[in-house]
Structures are given as C-alpha cells and as structure tokens.
C-alpha cells in the first residue's frame, strides 16, 4: 500500500529540501556573487548581498595575470586522461571480480577501498620523493597516472556494482555462441554496462577535476591544473577575495555545467545497486 | 554429428561433491532429458557438458574426441537458457546472427541463415525489435533461433520452458519436439517436470543427488522403475507405496501401485476406504482415499464421470499384473 502523504506534509518536505539545497549551494553562490564585486565590497562588513556595483574587472585582471586556458587544458588532460586510463584498467578488473570471483575477491575489494581511508598526506613524502627520483615532478603524464591510481578503487567499485547487476547467463550465452573473452567484453558486457560506465566516467572526471591535494603538491607550472590556478590567488601579501572568487568561478564553471547536464546520469550512478 | 560421452565425470564445489563418478552416453541424434528434483545436479551436469563449469575429474568426449579441456565456444554445442539470456542491446536479427558473427561468417551467408531461422520460428516480423519488446514465448523462440543458426553438434536446453505460462509451455514443448524431428540433432534437455520428460524424450536420465538413478526410454521407466525414487518420480499422480502385510503377500518390502491401475467400485473390491479430497480434471478424477489401513492415503485415478463424494466409502482393486515390488533397500524385485 502506498503511504498517504498529506498536502501539509508535502509542503513542509519541499521547504526543507529547498532550505538544505540552498544551504549547500550558498558558498558557491557567494563565490560567484563576490567575483562580480570590487575588492572593497568583497570584504565589506556587514557583507553586501546584491546591491553592489556589478563589475567584470576581476575576470579581466585574472585573465591578464595568468593564462586561464593553459590551466584549463591541464585540468582537462589530467582529469580526462586519468579517468579514461582508469576505466581501461578497471573494466577487466571489475569483470573478473563480478563474474569469476575467488575466495579473496571480497577482501581485495575491501582492501582497495581501505586505501581511500588512508590520509593522503601520509604517503605524500614517498610519492614526492618518487616523483623527484623519476624526474616527473610537475609532469602531466605523472599526474594522470597518480590521479588514476587515487581514483581507481572507486572506479572498480562502481563498475563492480554495475556488472553484478548483469545476469551471468548472458555472458555464458556469449561464450556458448563462440565469443572469446575479448569479444565478450567488447560486444556484450561493455554495451550492456554503458549507462554504468558513463556515470562512472562522469563521477571520476569530477573527482579528478576537483582533486587539489596531489595537484597542488606535485605541480607548479607545466602541469598545474585549475586547482593550482585558484590557489595562486591566495598570496602572502593578503587575500584578494574578489579575484580569488573570479578565479574559482572560472575553475568550477566547466565542471558545474557538465554536472548540470548530466545530473540524471550522476544520480543514477551514485544510487545504483542501492535498490533493485 | 553429436555423440556425447561422459566417463567417470565428477564435480566438486569446494569440498562438496555434487556429482560423484558418473558414466553416461548420449547417442547422435538422441533427445535425452535429464530429470530430477531441484538440486539433483541436472543443471550442473548440463553445464559440465557445455563447458561452463570445469569437471573435477574424468573425461567428456564429443564425437569421440576429448573435449574435457576445450572451452565452451569451441565445443560446437548451442545452449538455450532458462532466462533466455538474450542480448538486450541487440535487435532480434543481431541476437540470432551473433554466433555466426563470432564464427567470422560472411555477411551474405549470415543474412541468409538468419532469415531461414526466423521463418522456421515465425520471427520474421520481429527481426528488428529488441528482446524487451517481445513476449515470453517470442523471446524463447529467439533463444532457440540463436541456437539453431550455427548448426551445432548438439543442443543443450536448461529448463527452457519454466518461465512460460502453462498453455504456452505445451505449445513450445511440441515445437521443440518437432524441431528435433526436423533437425535430427542431439538434444539434451534439463527439466524438473516429469511430464516434459515423458512427452519429449527418447531417453530419460533420472538424477538424484548427482547420481543417475535410471536411464531408459519413457515407457521403460514407467513400466519398470528400478527403485522407489524413480517409481515415485515418474508418473502423475505419484505411485502409491504400500508396506507391511499387504506387501508381504507379494513377497516384497514395499509394493507400488499406480493410481491409474486401481479399479474403483461402490460395492466390492480388495481394499476399502473413505474418499477424502477429489480433484476433478474433467477427463479424469483423482480420489485421495483414507482409512484403507494400507498407507496414509491411496490416490486413485478414475474416469471423469465417476461421481463419488467426500466421505463415501469405496472399494479398490489393484490390477495384479502391474504391481511393482521393491525390497528393503528400495530396489525393484524382478
């Protein structure tokens, strides 16, 4: 039986949902608003909400002072590259764990996840040293590999959950029909898992895009993505809130737009397997 | 060609032996049915033949060559699954063509064969639909189409009709039998439904706990079940088993009498009892008779016109020439 919900209750729930949504969105909204203020207005007390002189000055200065496009390009390469590389490695891994599990499969999955529980700073030193030794500090390819490794457990977990939903008999049918392992992955499993793979791609692209710890520590000029671009506006001479906000807005805009257009996929990806 | 031979085949899942050493030969062109209750190992046996599970010890030969370590794709067998296992992202045409595509066949030949299979199975109008847009019976036909296009050495069916409704099941049963007549290819069919086994098989293999209880034609199994398990499993309604003094009269530990081999009368008979539940099928009526002093209940199959009611006292007489005798170990006494 469906649970009956009174109109009053519905209004209350809707109001609460909007309130929480706005609360979460507020910092982003404030950043965007601040980016259109002058530096003086940005730090005014009490803060000014809307009635200030809207200006694009900050954006002009930010663009003049640093090359936004270069950072953007690095972000695209690092986030995109690490995600694609991760998927290529994770599809076979998740396939084997979902369809030919061994006694230790659950342990391996937990172990992979446990690496995400380790504070990143705990391994900064060894990884930093490794990068120096290998001569790949501030190197885009190195960042692609490192971020891929950082996010690989999540990619494998997500794909594993998707693959588990695909009936094993279909893959067995493909085997009976003469498909080799490669053909089975290519013609049957991957096309059937396209929605799952798409949301995994998307989520990991976002995670890699927003990743700041490793990008800030291991890049400076050549491989610096947008996170470094934002960070470069918090200088020791004092904070320039309006410019920092303009930089932040420029940095988050691409991912915000991407997320907006793919929110259906994203929600599906995050809740997949939760209910069946 | 499709002669399949299992030699001392065993299967263990971890420490659990689901198939103890087993020998079985299925001749070329034969329709063999593996039948048994849930968990008897019949599907496992089929999957071992398919190569979807590895055997633990023993040998599987297909047409005289050792196929034990041959992967499923190379065994030349086609399988129809219980869930149909169609590729949901492909059209019916692509589903049926898939095994041919995997065999790297030329497109013109693929098209020809797909069209031919579709016309045999009445699927021509549905070739461009996706499996999701088809009914259960149509999906089953697509699964069969996918199996027949590649002209395999043998077909393996894993409970293919259990997801269909009763009326459709009877229809598909006939279609599969006709297909067997037409193709004359070896078929191995797994089911828990003894009616399917009786109506379709050339050879029935009755399994229990991974052990073959009996192999034979449907009528052999019906007429001369080797033990109590087969006697109880083959035939519907189930055979009546009677122990004690009545069995001793026949020099047996247990005697078995089929419900259709008992004559009913309101006046005289060898045994007497009280009618409990009656099941009216129209053509037949099944009476469950209590208080006979022989067993809990005796089931009797009578003509549909026989009109006894609940609580009536009736008399039963078994046909003497078809009483099955079993010893204390449950084995048939010849």
| H or E, element range at A258 | helix A241-261
| Domain residue spans of chain B | 4-227, 237-326
A165 contacts in chain B (CB < 8 Å): none
Residuewise pLDDT in 10s, chain A (276 residues): 566 778 888 999 999 999 999 999 999 999 999 889 888 888 877 887 787 788 888 888 888 887 888 888 999 999 999 999 999 999 999 989 998 888 899 999 999 988 888 888 888 999 999 999 999 888 999 999 999 999 999 999 999 988 888 888 899 999 999 998 889 988 998 888 888 888 888 889 988 998 888 888 888 888 888 888 888 877 666 677 888 888 889 888 888 888 888 877 777 666 554 443
Q: Which chain B residue is nearest to residue A193, measuring alpha carbons?
A: B89
A180 contacts in chain B (CB < 8 Å): 73, 102
Helix segments in chain B, DSSP class H: 42-50, 92-102, 107-120, 136-148, 166-183, 194-200, 218-223, 228-233, 245-248
Q: Residue A172 and residue B72: Cβ atoms within 8 Å?
A: yes
Smallest Cα–Cα separation from B289: which of B305, B306, B272?
Answer: B272
Q: Residue B99 and residue A177: Cβ atoms within 8 Å?
A: yes
**Burial (CB count <10 Å: 0-12, 13-18, 19+), residue A107:** exposed
Report ipTM (2 d.p.). 0.83
What helix, strand, coil percent values describe chain B, rounded to 5?
30, 30, 35
- Give pLDDT tens digits for B215-254: 999 999 999 999 999 999 999 899 999 998 889 999 999 9
Q: Residue A170 and residue B85: Cβ atoms within 8 Å?
A: yes
Which tokens belong to B75?
Answer: 């065994």
Closest residue to B52, CB basis, from A175, A187, A192? A175
To probe the interface with B, which of A178, A183, A186, A190 has the most B CB atoms within 10 Å? Answer: A178
Query: What is the average pLDDT across B29-40?
Result: 93
Q: Which chain A residue is nearest to residue B74, measuring alpha carbons?
A: A178
B102 contacts in chain A (CB < 8 Å): 177-180, 183
Determine the distance in angstroms separating the CA of B274 from the nearest CA of chain A, rounded to an integer: 45
Q: How big is the A-B interface in CB pairs under 8 Å?
A: 60
Answer yes or no: CATH 3.40.640.10 is held by domain B4-227: no
CATH code: domain B237-326 is: 2.40.50.140
Closest residue to B98, CB basis, from A169, A177, A194? A177
Determine the distance in angstroms separating the CA of A211 from the nearest CA of chain B, rounded to an integer: 35
Half-sphere exposure of B227 (CA within 13 A, CB side): 13
> What is the C-alpha to C-alpha distance for residues A274 and B4, in angstroms, rounded to an integer?
45
Name the more confident of B212 and B168. Answer: B212
- pLDDT at residue B175 tops 70: yes
- For residue B233, the model assigns a pLDDT of 93
Interface check B13 vs A, CB under 8 A: no
Topology adopted by domain A66-232: MetI-like fold (1.10.3720)
- For residue A237, the model assigns a pLDDT of 62
Which tokens belong to B55?
Answer: 């055997």
Determine the distance in angstroms separating the CA of B275 from the nearest CA of chain A, rounded to an integer: 43
Residues in CB range of B82: below 8 A, 6 or more apart: A169, B158, B159, B160, B162, B163
Q: Which chain B residue is nearest to residue A186, measuring alpha carbons?
A: B102
B87 contacts in chain A (CB < 8 Å): 170, 173-174, 188, 192
A184 contacts in chain B (CB < 8 Å): none
Report pTM.
Answer: 0.77
To probe the interface with B, which of A176, A182, A188, A190 has the most B CB atoms within 10 Å? Answer: A176
- For residue A219, the model assigns a pLDDT of 87
- Give pLDDT tens digits for B266-308: 888 899 999 999 999 989 999 999 888 887 799 999 998 888 8
B72 contacts in chain A (CB < 8 Å): 172, 175-176
| Total residue length of chain A | 276
């Amino acid at each position: 039986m469906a649970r009956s919900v009174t109109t009053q209750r519905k209004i209350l729930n809707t109001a609460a949902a909007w309130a929480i949504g706005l609360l979460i969105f507020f910092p982003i909204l404030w950043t965007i608003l601040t980016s259109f203020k002058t530096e003086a207005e940005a730090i005014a007390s009490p803060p000014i909400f809307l009635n200030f002189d809207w200006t694009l000055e900050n954006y002009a200065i930010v663009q003049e002072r640093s090359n936004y496009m270069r950072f953007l390009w690095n972000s695209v390469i690092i986030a995109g590259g690490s995600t694609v590389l991760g998927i290529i490695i994770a599809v076979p891994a998740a396939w084997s764990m979902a369809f030919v599990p061994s006694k230790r499969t659950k342990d391996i999955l937990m172990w992979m996840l446990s690496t995400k529980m380790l504070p990143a700073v705990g391994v900064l030193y060894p990884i930093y040293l490794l990068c120096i030794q290998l001569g790949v500090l501030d190197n885009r390819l190195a960042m692609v590999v490192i971020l891929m490794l950082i996010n690989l457990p999540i990619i494998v977990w997500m794909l594993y959950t998707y693959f588990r939903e695909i009936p094993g008999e279909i893959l067995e049918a493909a085997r009976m029909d003469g498909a080799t392992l490669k053909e089975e992955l290519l013609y049957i499993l991957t096309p059937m898992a396209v929605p799952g793979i798409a949301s995994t791609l998307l989520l990991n692209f976002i995670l890699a895009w927003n990743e700041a710890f490793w990008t800030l520590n291991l890049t400076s000029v050549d491989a610096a993505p947008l996170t470094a671009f934002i960070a470069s506006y918090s200088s020791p001479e004092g904070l320039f809130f309006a410019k920092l906000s303009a930089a932040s807005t420029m940095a988050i805009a691409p991912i915000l737009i991407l997320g907006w257009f793919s929110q259906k996929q994203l929600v599906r990806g995050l809740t997949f397997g939760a209910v069946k | 060609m499709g002669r399949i031979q299992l030699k001392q085949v065993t299967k263990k899942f971890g420490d659990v032996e689901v198939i103890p050493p087993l020998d079985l030969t299925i001749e070329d062109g034969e329709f063999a049915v593996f039948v048994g209750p849930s968990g008897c190992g019949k599907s496992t046996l089929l999957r071992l033949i398919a190569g979807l599970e590895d055997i633990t010890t023993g040998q599987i030969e297909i047409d005289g060559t050792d196929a034990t370590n041959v992967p499923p794709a190379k065994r030349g067998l086609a399988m129809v699954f219980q869930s149909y296992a169609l590729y949901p992202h492909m059209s019916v045409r692509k589903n049926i063509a898939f095994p041919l595509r995997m065999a790297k066949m030329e497109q013109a030949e693929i098209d020809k064969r797909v069209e031919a299979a579709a016309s045999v199975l009445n699927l021509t109008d549905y070739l461009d639909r996706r499996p999701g847009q088809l009914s259960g019976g149509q999906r089953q036909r697509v699964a069969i189409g996918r199996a027949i296009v590649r002209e395999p050495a043998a077909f393996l069916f894993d409970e293919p009709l259990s997801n269909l409704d009763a009326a459709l099941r009877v229809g598909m049963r006939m279609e599969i039998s006709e297909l067997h007549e037409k193709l004359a290819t070896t078929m191995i069919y797994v089911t828990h439904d003894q009616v399917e086994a009786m109506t379709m098989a050339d050879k029935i293999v009755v399994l229990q706990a991974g052990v073959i209880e009996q192999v034979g034609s449907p009528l052999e199994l019906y007429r001369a079940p080797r033990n109590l398990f087969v006697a109880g499993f083959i035939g519907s309604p189930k055979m009546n088993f009677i122990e004690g003094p009545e069995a001793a009269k026949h020099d047996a530990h247990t005697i078995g009498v089929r419900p259709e081999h008992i004559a009913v009368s309101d006046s005289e008979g060898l045994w007497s009892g009280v009618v409990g539940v009656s099941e009216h099928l129209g053509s037949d009526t099944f009476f469950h008779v209590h208080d006979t002093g022989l067993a809990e209940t005796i089931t009797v199959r009578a003509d549909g016109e026989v009109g006894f009611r609940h609580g009536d006292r009736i008399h039963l007489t078994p046909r003497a020439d078809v009483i099955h005798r079993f010893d204390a170990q449950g084995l048939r006494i010849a």
